Homo-oligomer: A and B are copies of this chain.
Amino acid sequence: MASWGERLEGVRGVLLDISGVLYDGSEDGGVPIPGSVEAVARLKRSQLKVRFCTNDSQKSRGDLVGLLRRHGFDISEGEVTAPAPAASLILKERGLRPHLLIHDGVRSEFDQIDTSNPNCVVIADAGESFSYQNMNKAFRVLMELESPVLISLGKGRYYKETSGLMLDVGAYMKALEYACGIEAEVVGKPSPEYFQSALKEMGVEAHKAIMIGDDIVGDVGGAQRCGMRALQVRTGKFRPSDERHPDVKADGYVDNLAEAVDLLLQHADK
């Protein structure tokens, strides 16, 4: 493999995944991953541009940023690309009235959206709200529509909380896709439109940007398909078999965000 100097040459902007890279979530707020608070601070003191690109759809952007700030992270709402505000914009643009299968924590992002007489379903990482009853409700709304529209905030397979691996929205998206015989529209990683909006907001072209994430498919594969480079951290949902993934090969594997930032500050375009 090429040297780090070659692999990181010309990088001017960094997209950071949040869960599993900055912190490991849990019901009571989670814990920062060792070294990540300082790593973010060092990155932001450098000449590199930084933006946070999350698929977290359980919390409003304000709540997520508040939580991270309490953990010591230097982060503000305007620096975060998150799927719920992106979906909210799409619903408004297309005049869609969603039935929401979402976590209560993210409901405020849809406050301005008309949800009467729904003509689509929006599914997010609803956690405990993925009950059989709620899944049936969403399913029945879709089955009553002539052309069912299902919008999924990300399509992650699973994520890691301090208590263990948790099924993510992608699994439930697949359940509804199969039951209805439809394909969902994904708002979030690895959708190219989503990465492109984050790049645009950061003001860096794809070939000068690098994604750092713990998801070999959603973060690494998705970013690479958009022309970015991507590193996988060995934290969060990382599993050793990811380094032998049949379809996706990261531009580098690092132990954690701190190591990624060490390398970037040493080799990227400064």
Contacts and interface: CB of A to CB of B under 8 A. Distances in A.
Contacts of A179: 157-158, 167-168, 170-171
A175 interface: yes
B132 A157 contact: no
A171 to B, nearest CB: 4
Contacts of A248: none
A140 interface: yes
12 contacts: A130-B131, A130-B132, A135-B171, A136-B166, A139-B167, A157-B179, A157-B181, A158-B179, A167-B175, A171-B179, A174-B174, A174-B178
Contact of A178 (B130, B135, B171, B180): B171
A127 interface: yes
A174 B73 CA distance: 38
A135 B167 contact: yes
A205 B171 CA distance: 40
A194 interface: no
Interface of A: 126-133, 135-136, 139-140, 143, 157-158, 164-168, 170-172, 174-181
Contact of A143 (B130, B133, B165, B174): B165
A131 B136 CA distance: 12
Copies in the complex: 2
A67 to B, nearest CB: 21
A135 B130 CA distance: 10
A269 to B, nearest CB: 36
B139 A158 contact: yes
Contacts of A128: 131-133
Contact of A164 (B135, B140, B175): B140
Nearest to A239: B143
Contacts of A130: 131-132, 135
Given A139-B158, A174-B175, A132 B167 contact: yes
Given A130-B135, A157-B181, A172 B175 contact: yes
Contacts of A165: 136, 139-140, 143
A174 B177 CA distance: 9
A168 to B, nearest CB: 8
A178 B180 CA distance: 16
B167 A171 contact: no
Given A172-B175, A175-B175, 12 more contacts: A126-B132, A135-B171, A136-B164, A139-B165, A140-B164, A143-B158, A143-B165, A157-B181, A167-B175, A170-B178, A171-B179, A174-B177
